[in-house]
Each structure stands twice: as structure tokens, then as C-alpha cells.
Structure 1
Amino acid sequence: MSAIFNFQSLLLVILLLICTCTYVRSQAPSLVDRNKTGVFGLIWKAARIGERLSPYVSLACIIMGVSLMTS
């Protein structure tokens, strides 16, 4: 089953994308900031979500980790 058809897997992929993009932007900001439009603009948007909503993203990561361990 792919992550598109399983809601929990889709949420996990989105959370990992947000966390990864935020980390990459913190290490190499020029790499992410130069592509604000197009397909690579999704990376920039995910990094912005991770920066601005970091308490909520970290709480979602904790909840997702607990739910994966208990299932």
C-alpha cells in the first residue's frame, strides 16, 4: 500500500518532509531560498511551515512517534 491511500502514512511523509526541509534550510539557507516558485517552491514552503509552526510540528512528530510505537 502506498502512502497516498493510508492516511497515517501520508501524515508521516508530510511531517518528515517539513522537518527535513526545515533542517536543510537551517544548514544551507541559500540553497532553499533561491527557489521560491515552481516545484522547488514546495521545499521553501515546507521549510517556512516548519520554522513558523515549530511547536506544533514537534508535537505532531511526538504524537506520530507514539502512535507508530503503539500500533
Structure 2
Amino acid sequence: MPRIILINIIFESEYLLYQTEKLIKKSNNLYYTAIEINNKAKHYSNESGIEIFRLKPIVRAIIELAHQV
């Protein structure tokens, strides 16, 4: 699956809520989904790339996981 590069994109709160709902509806196990989001957010917080300066790690993790579903 291609990597999503999020440069200079400001997501509205409605879009984030939509993506979160989409992720929750598609998941079989909410605990596993929460752990997966947490692990991705930790990974993103340790990166020091240009593409992450706009989004917080937790928001980026939710959006990317929702796109993978």
C-alpha cells in the first residue's frame, strides 16, 4: 500500500470525526485498534521528517489507519 504523505494539509474536525467513525465501524476489536493507533502515533512522534510538522501524531495515525481500512 502506498505511503500517504501529509504535507501542508489542515484537516477539519468534521473530517477527523468521520475518519474516526469509519475506523471504529470497520474494526472488530476496539482494544486492538486503540493499541494500533497508539503504536503508530508513537512511531510518528519519533520521526523528524518535514511531512509531519502540521499534524499531531495521534491525528496522523487515525487518518492513516482509516485510509488503510
TM, length-normalised to structure 1: 0.33
Bigger proportion of residues as helix: 1
- Structure having greater relative contact order (Cα 8 Å, sep ≥ 6): 2
Larger CA Rg, structure 1 vs 2:
1
TM, length-normalised to structure 2: 0.34
